[in-house]
Amino acid sequence: AFDISNLRDQTGYVTLDRGYKNTGATKSAITFLDGEQGILQYRGYSIEDLAAKASFLEVAYLLIYGELPTQEQFATFETSIRRHTLVNEDMRKIFDGFPVNAHPMGVLSSLVSAMSAFYPDLEGSKEDTTDQHIIRLLAKMPTIATWSYKRGLGHPMNYPKNNLDYIPNFLNMMFSLPVEDYKVDPVVAEALNVLLILHADHEQNCSTSTVRLVGSSQANIYSSISAGISALWGPLHGGANQEVIEMLEDIKADGGDVSKYVDMAKNAKTTGFRLFGFGHRVYKNFDPRARIIKKAADDVLSKLGVNDPVLEIAKGLEEAALHDDYFVSRKLYPNVDFYSGIIYRALGIPTNMFTVMFAIGRLPGWIAQWKEMREQKEPIGRPRQIYTGATLREFVPIEKR
């Protein structure tokens, strides 16, 4: 029986919903998600349509400003982003202080937070600078992201080339060498475009709720998004894409027997092992993004002529899990992270950069949600609790303890 006394604190009754499984924190007009039917829409446009027809920057504009841009609006938006891709050289001094093998997500969240020191709002200024901060974030985050990768290889950094579009510019910074310019492969650029769109927003997930919560104290946009990046890094959230590929590699090294891993995951309570890339808080049918990504993985690998045995292991694992009662009864299906790593790998992006790619994709969503929260003048977020500690006690001086 439901024991209501558990919900009582000293002052009255409190709604207790650990993990916010059924608690709404806001009203939002950005993303519609129906987890039972597997529907995802940004501002009313289906994810399938956007992934097939739009560019990532168009989707970013749509999420942030509410409508698809006209050609003129898009040209202004894109040109502003092109003009802001350079990062202040003094940020490099901070970057150079990180250990060479620092995880790129730790570096990214620190440097995005540091942007608040480089681009503060002047005290007392009444000017609304939000749009400038938005442009800076969209323009500079891909540049910062490539630094970790280049340094890990011992290569010199590449400056952005602003005659290139957003995604080719990123690929150029990642893969060009002083001795050899990277030639952008349209298959690679298109695959990345689709992946970034699929990750661009997902209503009140853990990192987005973090961005909104931090922003609700009226903290600046850089600090709020830096907090979102930290939340995304966790293996139960965006960090799952790195965990998935490492798990698939382990299965391969272990002889490729997927059933052994399905069995281990069925006993998650005792083994502590979960199938990464499976299950979702909201999707209880299937994740529509996973469906698009699975097909994209097949297409991209065959177009690039990549034969990755890990793709076969992933398909085998999905098949085994979808026929297993444990997974069926709990409605555990592959999520967006299950196949994304296989594509990133085929594009030449290393495993420790997978969650960074997710962050670049999610950035417009975080910005849109932060902006909406501020425009709706939402109150500071402050959950309640049920206190379970000691009742009033008398202080004992340290000599008597």
Binding residues (CB under 6 A) for ligand ACO: these are 19, 236-238, 240, 265, 268, 274-281, 330, 332, 335-337
Shortest gap between Cβ of 148 and ligand ACO (angstroms)? 21
167 close to 189: Cβ distance less than 8 angstroms:
yes
Active-site positions read: 280, 337
Question: Whole-number minimum distance, CB 302 to ligand ACO, in Å?
Answer: 26
Query: Helices (DSSP H) in 154-254: which residue ranges?
Result: 166-175, 186-199, 206-215, 221-233, 240-253
CB 273 to ligand ACO: min, Å:
8
Nearer to ligand ACO, 133 or 266 (CB): 266
Nearest to residue 135, comparing CAs of 84, 61, 73, 190? 84
Q: What is the DSSP letter of 320?
A: H
Q: How far apart are the first and last CA of the chain?
A: 43
In whole angstroms, give the CA distance from residue 249 to residue 247. Answer: 5
Q: How many CB atoms lie within 10 A of CB 209?
A: 18
Q: Residues 216-225, buried b or exposed e (16+ Cβ, 10 A)?
A: beebbbbbbb
Q: Which of 157/206 has CB closer to ligand ACO?
A: 206
Query: 123, 129 in Cβ contact below 8 A?
Result: no
Indicate the residue among 290 and 368 with the shorter CB distance to ligand ACO: 290
183: tokens are 């030639």
Give CA separation, 295 vs 17, 288, 291, 336, 342, in Å: 37, 11, 7, 12, 12
42 forms bridges with which residues in the sheet? 31, 45
On whether the CB atoms of residues 63 and 120 are closer than 8 A, the answer is no
Residue 177 phi/psi, 5-degree rounding, is -120, 155
Question: What residues pair up with 41 in beta bridges, in sequence order?
Answer: 32, 46
Instruction: Give me the least distance between CB of 129 and ligand ACO, in Å please.
Output: 31
Cβ nearer to ligand ACO, comparing 237 with 371 = 237
What residues are paired with 278 via a beta bridge? 334
Q: How far is the CB of 172 from ligand ACO (least distance, A)?
A: 28
- Taking the complex as a whole, the smallest distance from the CB of residue 22 to ligand ACO amounts, in Å, to 11
155 close to 180: Cβ distance less than 8 angstroms: no
Query: With respect to ligand ACO, which residue has the nearer C-beta, 114 or 196?
Result: 196
Residue nearest to ligand ACO (CB): 279
Q: Residue 323 or residue 330: which is nearer to ligand ACO going by CB?
A: 330
